[in-house]
């Protein structure tokens, strides 16, 4: 049986070509954002602070489920949850989800004593 290759060349109007280019650029940015998010999750989870899943999620701006999913990848440690349960950790009585600094990131109050 003989084989052959077929090459398809689409001739699209400029507006459609522009829409395709914009979509491809957006997908590339999304892939970069995913990689940056995963790196941040790993850094926060494996660093010396060993933050809990919900704290990491709040800081990075993703769900706690997404943090747990990232941490389940081979070679990574298991996610940790706060000792008092699976709720948001309260530091000095403040829920980090309810207080944000000027940049929009949550403010975590850590007691140094």
Domain boundaries, the chain: 14-82+89-98
Query: Which of 1-10, 53-62, 70-79 is the least confident region?
Result: 70-79
Tokens 């809990």 correspond to: 52
Specify the pLDDT at position 60. 94
14-35 pLDDT, tens digit each: 999 999 999 999 999 999 999 9
Please give the Cα distance from 44 to 50 (Å, whole number): 7
Contact 82, 89 (CB under 8 A): yes
pLDDT tens-place string over residues 35-63 = 999 999 988 877 677 788 999 999 999 99
Kindly report the pTM of this predicted structure: 0.56
Report the pLDDT value the prediction gives residue 88, as an integer from 0 to 100.
46
């Amino acid at each position: 049986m003989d084989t052959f290759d077929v090459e398809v060349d689409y001739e699209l109007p400029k507006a459609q070509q522009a829409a395709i280019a914009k979509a491809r650029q957006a997908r590339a940015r999304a892939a970069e954002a995913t990689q940056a998010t995963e790196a941040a999750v790993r850094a926060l989870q494996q660093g010396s602070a060993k933050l809990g899943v919900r704290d990491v999620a709040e800081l990075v701006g993703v769900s706690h489920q997404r943090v747990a999913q990232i941490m389940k990848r081979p070679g990574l440690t298991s996610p940790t949850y706060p000792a008092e349960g699976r709720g948001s950790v309260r530091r000095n009585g403040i829920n980090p989800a309810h207080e944000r600094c000027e940049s929009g990131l949550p403010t975590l109050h850590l007691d140094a004593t």
